[in-house]
Structure 1
Amino acid sequence: MVNIIHRVGIKAEIQKVYEALATIQGISNWWTKDTSGESEIGKTVTTRFHTLEGNEIGSMSFEIKDLEPNKKIHWKFLEGPEEWIGTEVIFDLHQEENYTIVLFNHVNWSEEVEFKAHCSMKWAIFMLSLKQLIENGEGKPSPHDIKIDNWN
């Protein structure tokens, strides 16, 4: 199995970072505006991605596997791109001085493929969107995210 890993430090209290990662409203402010569902263990969240013109370009659903306040958020993908089915995202949080450190892991990819490289870059962009949201009050969720190639 192969994984995507990113580390970002956010100048904020850990509770604020946790809420942005663990709630529907929070996710919609840094990842994609079109986020729905219930952010509770065992429940499902659906995210949809659109062009600026409003055309849907992708969607995925994930189950909330674990929520440990101010420590960990764990998702398992149930629907979406074929390569994502069964993969998991884990956000581990801890405080270092005046930074909340987010250790992001998208684990259990079946193989190293070009799409994984694309997703790794996009996750980095969305982690920076999370940082911008919390530090400056406004993230860059889809469809306002940075476009990196012809796949988005």
Structure 2
Amino acid sequence: MVSIELVNYIKAPASLIYQVLTTEEGLAKIWTKKLIVKPEVGFINEFDFNEAEITKMKIIELQENSRIYWECVDSDKEWIGTRVSFDLSERNNQTAVILKHSDWRAVTEYYQWCNYNWSMFLQRLKTQCESLVQFGS
């Protein structure tokens, strides 16, 4: 099993980043506008990327302002059974966001494409959160 592991540093409080990553309003600004999201353990978030499958992520764990952990229960066949976590740690007026997409069965072209897209996701998260801090949320 392989993982995608990325980090980005965001000049925003962990509480703001947590809110963006756990709400429809927040995720719609950085991932897809077609979604059903509820910040509740056991809930299955749905993300529609205009592909054959709707990506469904079951919320396994939520630790307010520090951790979000999902398991993919439906999506592209390479995603099913994989897990995505976001670990947040705040220090020196910024928050480190560690994204880990684990339990991939193989390094494929799709895995590599997703690695790139998760990097873009973290960049959009950074831009969104830092603009909210700069201009007030």
Q: TM-score scaled by structure 1?
A: 0.83
Contact 2:23 2:37 in 1 (8 A): no
Alignment correspondent of 1:8: 8
Contact 2:22 2:37 in 1 (8 A): no
Q: Distance in 2 between matches of 1:26 and 1:120?
A: 21
Q: Distance in 2 between matches of 1:37 and 1:70?
A: 17
Answering whether residue 73 of structure 2 is matched by residue 57 of structure 1, we say no
Q: Distance in 2 between matches of 1:38 and 1:70?
A: 16
Count of matched residue pairs: 131
Contact 1:24 1:39 in 2 (8 A): no
Contact 1:35 1:46 in 2 (8 A): yes
Contact 1:8 1:127 in 2 (8 A): yes
Mapping of 1:1-152 within 5 angstroms? Answer: 1-49=1-49, 56-58=50-52, 59-137=54-132
Contact 1:63 1:77 in 2 (8 A): yes
Q: TM-score scaled by structure 2?
A: 0.91
Structure 1, 27-36 or 98-107: larger mean CA deviation: 27-36
Structure 2: where are the runs of 5+ without partners?
133-137
Q: Report the CA distance between 1:42 and its aligned residue.
A: 0.4
Structure 1: where are the runs of 5+ without partners?
50-55, 138-152
Higher helix proportion (structure 1 or 2): 2
